[in-house]
Amino acid sequence: MLLDDAARLRAAAAFVREYESATLLPLLLPGLHGPELASVAAYCRFAHVGILLFPRDPRDLRDLLAASGLVADTPSLPSVVVRERLARRHRRDVAELDVQILRPRVHGPAGEPRAVEVFTLAVPEGSGLEPIAAHERALGHETHLAFALERPDPLVLRGLCAVLTRHGARPDGGGYNPHENGTVLYFTTPDTTCGYRRLELYAPGDHREVLAAHTSECPGTNRHSETLLHLLTGAWTTQALASFARLRLPEAMDTTVATGIRELARRTATRPDSLATLLRYLTMLGVVAEESDAADPNEPDEPSDGQGAFRLTSLGRLLRADCPDTMRPLALMYAGPFYRSFAALDHSVRTGQPAFDHLFGENHFDHFARDPELADLFDRSMAASSRMFRPLPAHPVITAAAQAATPRTVVDVAGGNGELLGHILTAHPSLRGTLLERPHAVEAARRSLGSLGCGARCDYRSGDFADVPHGGDVYILSRILHDWDDDRCREILRHCARAMPAHADLLIVERLLPADGSPSLATAWDLHMMCNVGGRERRAEHYARLLADAGLELLDRSPLPLEAHVLHARKAAQPGPADDQGHARGSDAGVS
C-alpha cells in the first residue's frame, strides 16, 4: 500500500499547488459565480487537501512522506474530530483510535503557504484495526478540500454555511479541536469534475454554537436531545459558579501558575476529591484551566496526587472579590434569592404576579430592605454591571452640562450605592451631584462617593420617587423603569417631569427588546423581571409612549456595553392653553 498511498499524497500536493479559491469553488459548487463567488472567495482561503492514512508505525509514515516529496517539520497533534467520526462510523471506543494530524507544508501558485493535511491512524500488521483501514481506503470518507476563514466571526461563518447549502452543499458533521482551538464544519458537495466531494470550513477559535446548528442538519443525526440535556443542566452551572465564588476559590488561585488540588483544598478548607469534581466542571465552562498533573510547586517534596493542577482564567478572574470588574455579587445573587424564585416561574406565567412575592410573601425591595446583608449584596450586584456605565460620562448631554459656564447638577434617581454618579463626577470635576435613594443605600453611597473623592460635590436625599429633587440640570433613571409595570413607570416619569426645569435633560439606561426578535440579553432579563419584580423589558417605541404620557419626548438613543442603551428625553413642547388644560386633566387621571 505504500506506493498507492504515496501516489495519493503526490496527487494531493499537486492539487494544492495548482488551484485558487476563486477557480476551485465553482468546481465544487456549480452555480456559485459573479459577486457571490467573489464575496465567498474573499472570506475563504483555500488551505489544504486532507487525507487519512494508515501507516504500520512511525517509520512507515516517514517513508511514506519522503516518497511523496513531503516533509513533516512540525509536531503532530491529536485529531478530535476525525477520531470521533471514525468511532461513530465503525462503532469503536474513541480510546482505541489514536488519530494524529500532520500538516506538511506546500506552496500555492503565488507562493502562499498551504499544506496537505495528513490524518494518521497507526495499524500494525495483524491489528484489529485493519478492517477500518480497508474500509476507509476504499471509500475515502475523510478526504476533503479545506477553506480557512480569514476573519473567524460567527456571523460570517453562519453566512458562509447558508451560501454553501443554497448551492447544493450538505452538512456532513464537524467538531471542535481544543488541542489547536479550531472549529471545522464538513459538507458534501454535488458531483464535481475535480475529484473531491467533501469540503471543510475551518474557523480558528471556539464556535460550538454554529457547530451545533450545523451538525443538527446532518443526515441521520438528531442532536435535539443532546441540546435539550445541556439546556436542562443550566441550573448546575449557576450553582457551580456561585459555589466557586462562595468558597473563595478565585482568590486562592493564580492566573499564570497552576496550583495542585491538595494545596487548593488546604487553602479553601474543602475535600480534594470533591474539589477536583467541581474544578473539572468549571474547566468545561472556561472558568479555570487544567494543567499537566505535575508535582505541586507549593509542596515540592510531595508526589503528584493524580488529580491535576488548575489555574484561574481571565473569565474566572471576574469572580474574584478584588477584581475591579468583579461579578461575584451577581453570582451570589443569581444563585440565591433569585434562583429560589425561579423555581416558581410557572406561578408568574399562570397569574402574572411575581414568583418572588409568592415565595417570600413580599416584594423583593421590601424583603431586601429588612435584611441589611441582602440589601448590601443587591446594591453590589447592581454595581457589578457598571461596565455599561463607562461610556455615559461622554454622552453629549453630560459633556454639555460639564462645559456650562455655571456649575450644573446631575440628579441620579434611585441611584443605588452611587456607582454611576461616581463615574460621572469623577470624569467631570465641574459637575455637582444629587443622589435620591432609600436610607440604607444613601449611607452606602456616602461611603462610596467619599472614597472616590467626590463626596463633597454631592447632596444625598432619602426618599421615594415622589421626592425627586427639583431644579436639577440632568436627571438619570438607570435600570429603574424595567422594575415596574407601565402604570408605575408613568407615575415615576411624571414625578421626574414635574421636578425638571424646562431646560433639563432626562437620561434613561435600560436594555431594549429587539424589534426583530433576534437573541438578546434583554429577552432573558424580561423573563427575570417578570419572575422576580413584576417588571419588564421594553422596546424603544414602548418607552417613547410612556414618556409621551408623562409629558416628555424621546429625542434619541445610543448603545452602551452589555447590550444596554441610553435614552435621551426632554419635556415636550408646551401646547396651547386649551390643549394644555385637556392634557393636564388626562395626566391627573392616570396617576395612581
DSSP H or E run through 391 = none
Residue 559 CB coordination number (10 Å):
12
Active site residue 358: no
293 close to 306: Cβ distance less than 8 angstroms:
yes
> Looking at beta carbons, which pairs linking 14-20 to residues 24 or more positions away fall under 8 Å?
15/49, 15/194, 16/46, 16/48, 16/49, 16/106, 16/108, 16/114, 16/115, 16/116, 17/106, 17/107, 17/108, 17/109, 17/114, 18/109, 19/46, 19/109, 19/194, 20/46, 20/108, 20/109
In one letter, which amino acid is 140?
G
Alpha helix (H) residue ranges in 92-207? 130-139, 154-166
Q: Out of 207, 482, 495, 528, which one is annotated catalytic?
A: 482
Task: Note the Cα 63 to chain centre separation in Å.
Answer: 46
- Distance CA(215)–CA(173), nearest Å, equals 5
Q: What element of type H or E holds 97?
A: none
Q: How far is CA 24 from CA 18, 19, 114, 202, 398, in A?
A: 10, 6, 15, 16, 55
Q: If we measure between CA atoms, which residue out of 388, 372, 591 comes closest to residue 489?
A: 591
- The answer for residues whose C-beta is within 8 angstroms of residue 484's C-beta and 6 or more apart is 492, 533, 534, 535
Query: β-strands 474-478, 288-291: how paired?
Result: unpaired
Residue at 393: amino acid letter: P
Please give the grid coordinates belonging to residue 58.
512511525
Bridge partners of 544?
A: none
Phi, psi dihedral angles at 225 (to 5 degrees):
-65, -40
Neighbours of 410 (CB within 10 A): 29
Residue 140, phi then psi, degrees to nearest 5: 60, 45
Q: HSE of 586 in the Cβ direction (CA atoms, 13 Å)?
A: 11
User: Would you tell me how many other CB atoms lie within 10 Å of the CB of residue 313?
Assistant: 17
49, 15 contact by CB (below 8 A): yes
Q: Are the CB atoms for 208 and 177 separated by under 8 Å? A: no
Residue 201 to residues 68, 146, 539, 572: CA-CA distances in angstroms?
Answer: 26, 6, 37, 54
Burial group, residue 325, by CB count within 10 angstroms (0-12, 13-18, 19+): exposed
Say how many Å lie between the first and final Cα of the chain, rounded.
87
Residue at grid coordinates 510547586: 297
Name the residue among 493, 488, 506, 504 with its Cα closest to residue 547.
Answer: 493
* Catalytic site positions: 482
